[in-house]
Amino acid sequence: MTRDELVKLVTQKFGLQEETAKQVVATVADSLKAKLPPPLDGQIDGLVAGRKPDLLSLPRGPGGLLGGRK
């Protein structure tokens, strides 16, 4: 699902104006990125752009995701 499709869904589901729905989608994406560790935060932009996550680029094992050994 692309960002535009997500905005359209939010607009329809909640009866919001398109500009408000864009702000909602951006706020949620930014909040998710702020809470995720760096290897994952960049995946959010790709997801809302309609790209599949690049799981091969992520560090292997929990240590790499949580700041431990990579």
**Radius of gyration of the CA atoms of the chain, in A:** 15
Instruction: Give me the sign of the Cα torsion angle 49, 53, 54, 59.
Output: positive
C-alpha distances out from residue 35 to 5, 20, 44, Å: 24, 23, 11
Mean pLDDT of 3-12: 94
**35: confidence class by pLDDT, cuts 50, 70, 90:** confident
DSSP 51: P
Tell me what the pLDDT averaged over the chain comes to: 80
Rounded to whole angstroms, the Cα distance separating 6 from 50 reads 10
